[in-house]
Amino acid sequence: MSFDSLGLSAPILAAVAEQGYETPSPIQAQAIPAVIEGRDVMAAAQTGTGKTAGFTLPLLELLSKGERAPSNQVRALVLTPTRELAAQVAESVATYGKNLNLNSTVVFGGVKINPQMMKLRRGADILVATPGRLMDLYNQRAVRFDKLEVLILDEADRMLDMGFIRDIKKIIALLPKKRQNLMFSATFSDDIRQLAKGLVNDPVEISVTPRNAAATSVEQLVCPVDKNQKPALLANLIWEGKWEQVLVFSRTKHGANKLTKYLENNGIKAAAIHGNKSQGARTKALADFKAGSVRALVATDIAARGLDIEQLPHVVNFDLPNVSEDYVHRIGRTGRAGATGEAVSLVSSEEFKLLQDIERLIKKILPRKIVEGFEPVHKLPESRLSQKPARGNRPKSPRIGHRDGQRSGENSRGHRHGGR
Ligand code: AMP
């Protein structure tokens, strides 16, 4: 199949061709005609499936037909959980829409609000936004939704995990009742279905697995190690393996900072990326990592979510995630597009229960390798796959702490620091 048969017009097809895409990915083949037809869409798809082009291309097609957005009005609103994802979606909109005369803008927290207010004065045919900052802008009368035609929720599951449900409901209540709705989510939990029920109308349902279908192309390995030896073991793996580019997951922001310093002190160029970093610092860290001048990018789960970093050969879980599902997301960052990758988890005896939860979730006992010189004093017990179903260890209420895309400065409960 080619892009020509999907109902996209020549300027958009030219922009797609310029990207070098030859065939639409499965989600694009299904979503593009449905969106152009005006249907609501509910899609189970994560990063790596081509979902962004899946909604951006038909959106551009639809919007290129009607009248441009008047001052402070928005015709299509894309909500994303994180600043990085918002920036990436906006970049895709600009890339695919380069031959069209449409106005697009992106807004998120952590940067000055005034320039965003100025840009919105021109009106936005497509506005990409994180929920917290969008509410701030609405409350300051910088954005209005009378002309809104299409709402897109990207990574809806993550938005719920991050506690954005109230903001999302408030925003939806402000929109015209008659509109088109597209909802993308990596998982379809009961909460997501509940949200979808009040949102989409007779949707086309699409479900695809990412091109980087993790488990098949990713070699997974557990290195049992004492907690205090982890930084040294990581530096050793990077040096001995001659790793040029590694994404390291840390459970906490503080841990990410500490580890980054340790690696730097040991001659490994490193940068941390998490919610307490300024937007400028985060953008720079990602750009340096992509360009190869930073060798180790140390990230928290929320900051890493949705980052489009292609074909990472190495991912390291410096800490195991508290939420087992995050393990699957993390290792999905390696071995993309058919290339093989390696996901190494440094696991101390304190983390045994987390390891078991993960192994139950993926229904597999992970192979272990003790690295010479790093033999743990506190032994990691043997894993066993019991018959018991994996325990849902997702916390019931959102964590208290700063969330990406939230109103700048503090969180709604007045705390300044969170765990992630
Ligand atoms: P996404 O799932 O939207 O985050 O996209 C993942 C990556 O796939 C991005 O780097 C896109 O540039 C790329 N991509 C999207 N659609 C295609 C396509 N049809 N052919 C090749 N690459 C694509």
Please write the tens of the pLDDT for every residue from 117-132.
999 999 999 999 999 9
- The Cα 261–Cα 277 span in angstroms is 15
- CB 25 near ligand 1, within 6 Å: yes
Residue reference for tokens 């920036």? 87
Q: How far is the CA of 177 from the centre of ligand 1 (A)?
A: 32
What is the distance in A from the centroid of ligand 1 to the CA of 319? Answer: 29
CA distance 381 to 348: 10
Phi, psi of 206 (to 5 degrees): -130, 135
Atom 1 (ligand 1): residue with closest C-alpha? Answer: 50
Residue having the nearest C-alpha atom to atom 18 of ligand 1: 21
Q: Decide whether any atom of ligand 1 lies within 6 Å of the 80 Cβ.
A: no
pLDDT tens string, the chain, 420 residues long: the values are 899 999 999 999 999 999 999 899 989 999 999 999 999 999 988 777 899 999 999 999 999 999 999 999 999 999 999 998 999 999 999 999 999 999 999 999 999 999 999 999 999 999 999 999 999 999 999 999 999 999 999 999 889 888 899 999 999 999 999 999 999 998 888 888 889 988 999 999 998 865 434 434 678 999 999 999 999 999 999 999 999 999 999 999 999 999 999 999 999 999 999 878 887 888 888 889 988 899 999 998 877 765 666 667 899 999 999 888 888 888 877 765 455 688 999 999 999 999 999 998 887 889 999 999 999 999 999 888 765 544 444 444 444 334 444 443 333 333 334 333
For ligand 1, say whether the CB of 56 is within 6 Å of any of its atoms.
no
What span, in angstroms and rounded, lies between the C-alpha atoms of 66 and 23?
28
Nearest-angstrom CA–CA distance, 27 and 412? 36
Are 314 and 301 in contact, with CB atoms under 8 Å apart?
no
Q: How far apart are CA 354 and CA 342, in angstroms?
A: 20
Are 381 and 354 within 8 A, CB to CB? Answer: no
Could you tell me if the CB of 308 is within 6 A of ligand 1? Answer: yes
DSSP 326-371: HHHHHHTTBSGGG--EEEEEEE-GGGHHHHHHHHHHHTSPPPB-PP
